[in-house]
Structure 1
Amino acid sequence: MPPRTCRRSKNRISGHWHSSTSPLLTSTSNRVLYVVSLNHATNDGSVYLLSSLFPIVLALFNISVFQVGIIVALGYLVNILFQPVVGHYSEGRDPGRLLAIGIAIITVSVVSFVFATGFLSLLTSVIFLRLGSSFFHPVGISTISKSYGGPRLQKSMGFQSAFGNVGVLLVFLISASLYLEVGWRATFVVFAVWTLADVILTLTLLRGRHSAASDDPQTPSSSKPQTKRTIPVFFVLAAFISGGSYAVILNFANIFLGTRAHLDVSQANLIVSAFIAFASLGAIATGGWTRFVPTNVLLAISYIVASGSIAAFTLLSGNAILATITLLATGFSISATYPLTYTELSRYLGSIGQQSGRSFGVLSSGQTIGASILGLASGYVSQFLSLEVSFGSVAILALIGSVSAVFWIKNMNRRAY
């Protein structure tokens, strides 16, 4: 058996560089992991900063819930359009510089909220913010995937993913209280300082690194349609439902709690923060459960729990305690569907002898498209019908997710025989 060294070998299927346990390489990889994780927290926290203040925005700028839906939908749409462009451009380039550029754009956009005067100026700032946030996922996730392999890759992906939730959690915990203490402008200045500090740290610690992707042979163009053919509709539907449901709750739950439970924005955001915390637990906990229960079965169960808990939240949201309990169950179950869907897709692709990053890109796009469409639809339904109808519709979608998962299980069982 050869001794452990710093040598790295490339997996011919996935294209990932798998490293040994050399202390120097491990130290470098860990530094990359920590910086990328901080970027994830900054990126996602900044993206949802305005969402955490939507109850205030409605009154301060005299906009409607439907206009909130437009802001949410167009924000996600920018990510849908620009993430593939950034992903293509980033191949072979310095990831530290690209991540810093993205966070720098976010910094400028956060400052621009200081000068917002109404719906159009808010929308412009959000579009610019989402342009900056389009850098992180294609660049940051790719950097992690090229720095680790095997079990360490799974743990590293979970670690950086959790930091994204930590960033959103911090924003929902402190933004409203900060606004009540120092006002609108100072609140965004504080968060701009946070993002600027992240830019400096990223440039300092990741300077000079280059993507290993430039060493890869180019994937034949003939493989592109193959990817589309081998991704069953079930996965796209699951991604759409999960991404859309999570987005509706993050962007509209504090408004809903304010109108139904008569909570102020700080109290409502505290409940949403608990939702985010349990969402992080749900994403992490499922990794251990898959050793005892098949992934597709866990996915079906998660959607059933999500459907029931969202329906219960809709009905019981007038009581703050019951609303909190039901929303915690929703966060845990909805977030669990993310890693479970990716794992099930990976298992399926392995069963047919195919591994492709484009397959996971389709899944990510499905989540974002779901967030955009359901964000707009929820704003419209909430404005012209009611918030109750909006959240009730999300519960029905989660139920559809569970039914589709059951059919997927039956289909896979038939394939096994």
Structure 2
Amino acid sequence: MKQQGRILSTVSIIHAINDGSVAVISILFPIFKELFDLTYTQVGIITGGGLFITLVAQLILGRMADGKNVNSFLLTGLLLTSSSLILLTFSNAFITLIFLIFFMRFTTSFFHPIGIGWISRTYKKGRLDWAMGIQSGSADLGTFLAILTTLSITQLTHWTVPLYGWACICILGLLASLVLTFHLKKEFVIVPKETKKHSIREMATDAFERMKGIKMLIPAFMISGASWGVIITYLPLLLTERTTLSLPIIGFLVALWAGVGSITSLSYGKIRFYIHRKKLLVIAYLTLGIFSLFLAVFTHIIILIAVMILLGIAVFLTYPALFSFVSEVTHESVEGWTFGLTFVFQTGGGTIILFIGGVLSDLFGIWTPFALLGTLSLLFSMVLLFNYQKPFALPK
């Protein structure tokens, strides 16, 4: 296998396990809510706070990884994620649950700025959209498998069993990644960065200048980050409260969303060949807005199936498209730093909307996170249409 293929395979495996591990926790919130007597506000604090931990950690880790062995960072993250999943089985109250989920969120923060940056550097000169689609689709496949199996396994056994299972999968992924990357050349693993030390003021100025180039996409990262969290966390809670559907059926509906999303991401390179990336984003956010509002109103099983398929296409089209826009305007020596900055907005949007969604759910009902997400998506799609003739991203 060629060096590029080994890197893509490694990143795809780790991304699948990383996002699958996060999805296992998110889909278990109907269990956690009943087991630990949580309010929706507490759910919002746990999920939003966890994303805030991710926000800070990704920014720091992305900066630290530039100029260092990125593979070592990714493998360390896998090992820590395995440990965090085992520790989570000892949760016995709100306090221990929130502390251990925060730790798990830190461990899963190793991947995104570093792994995405590695793919960006490796494929910047060709097949970028294809590679972004493959690694993103692999992550969605991991999410799909986690969602599809977790609630069914929990109903048959115990809620800790899926956590032990994914802890073992982390170790298997670690071993597979070691085999794939053992003979990689140094230039593929370490990219030299500027040796000059920067003050905090200089780093802040640099961050501001880089974000000016992609200011049009900042709301996109925020909405896309929030959409993943809202659907995977609040949809099972909504269906548990407003329908008589069993946990395995609820798991199937959310898994349908992730499964369609996985196929969409894996097909992104081909889709991109026929449809301009700008047009894809407009269509995706318009669809996300309309059908998020549908979830706030309709809970009939047939409507839910159709809505989850369409949302799977819309949400998961945005990730590789956004990554590709950023990659095209980013120099390879600062990939980790730049993607760390973009993930600040992606996780920041999730932090704010998940927390607000929890509070609003206690005040007005569990439908409100979907109404909020839908409204924001529709407004942003109008902004994209209004600015369609302008570049969505510019180099620093």
The one-letter code of the counterpart of 1:118 is A
Q: Specify which of 368, 375, 379 is matched with residue 354 of structure 2.
A: 375
Q: 1:247 to 1:184 in 2, by over 3 A?
A: closer
Aligned length: 383
| Separation of aligned partners in 1, 2:157 and 2:273 | 49
User: Could you say which residue in structure 2 is the equivalent of 1:106?
Assistant: 81
Q: Secondary structure at the match of 2:127?
A: helix
Residue pair 1:313, 1:322 contacting (<8 A) in 2 also: no
Aligned-pair CA distance for 1:356: 6.9
**Cα deviations by residue, 1:131-159 (Å, 9 ceiling, x for unpaired):** 11111123222332333343333322211
Q: What is the aligned-residue RMSD (CA, Å)?
A: 2.7
**Does residue 43 in structure 1 map to residue 18 in structure 2?**
yes
**Which residue of the other structure, out of 211, 217, 234, is the alignment partner of 1:235?**
217
Q: Distance in 2 between matches of 1:387 and 1:121?
A: 25
Question: Which residue pairs with 1:61 in the alignment?
Answer: 36
2:65 pairs with 1:85: no
Tell me, in whole angstroms, the C-alpha distance in 1 between the residues paired with 2:206 and 2:59. Answer: 17
Of residues 222, 232, 237, the one that matches 1:250 is: 232
Aligned match of 2:280 in 298, 304, 317?
298
Q: How does 1:359-374 map to 2 (within 5 A)?
A: 360-374=339-353
Indicate the structure whose relative CO is greater, using CA pairs within 8 Å and at least 6 residues apart: 2
Give the Å deviation of 1:107.
1.0
Measured in 1, the distance between the counterparts of 2:272 and 2:177 equals 35
1:96 alignment partner AA? N
Aligned CA distance change for structure 1 residues 63 and 411 (closer, same or farther; 3 Å): same
In structure 2, how many angstroms separate the alpha carbons of the residues matched to 1:96 and 1:354? 16
Deviations 1:280-338 (A, max 9, x none): 33434554444454433332222222211112222211x11211211221221122233
Greater alpha carbon shift after TM alignment, 282-291 vs 139-148: 282-291
Separation in 2 of the partners of 1:46 and 1:88? 24
Contact 2:234-2:369 at 8 Å conserved across structures: no
Task: Give how far 1:85 is off.
Answer: 1.6
For residue 327 of structure 1, what is the aligned residue in structure 2? 308
1:263 corresponds to 2:245: yes
Q: Deviations over 1:212-247 (max 9, x none)?
A: 544344589685543233333x31112212221222
* Other-structure match for 1:18: none
Alignment-mate amino acid for residue 247 of structure 1: G
Q: State whether residues 291 and 307 of structure 2, in contact with CA within 8 Å, keep that contact through their aligned partners in structure 1.
A: yes
> Identity percentage over the alignment?
25
After TM superposition, the score normalised by the length of structure 2 is 0.87
How many Å apart are 1:268 and its aligned residue?
0.5
Counterpart of 2:292 (choices 292, 298, 310) is 310
Could you tell me how far apart the structure 2 residues matched to 1:202 and 1:91 are?
Answer: 20
- Unmatched segments (≥5 aa) in structure 2: none
**Which segment is superposed worse, 84-93 or 120-129?**
84-93
Structure 1 Cα separation of the partners of residues 270 and 71 of structure 2: 33
Q: How far apart in 1 are the matches of 2:181 and 2:272? A: 35
| Residue correspondence of structure 1 range 17-416 to structure 2 within 5 A | 27-207=2-182, 210=186, 213-217=190-194, 224-232=207-215, 234-317=216-299, 319-344=300-325, 349=329, 357=335, 360-409=339-388, 411=390
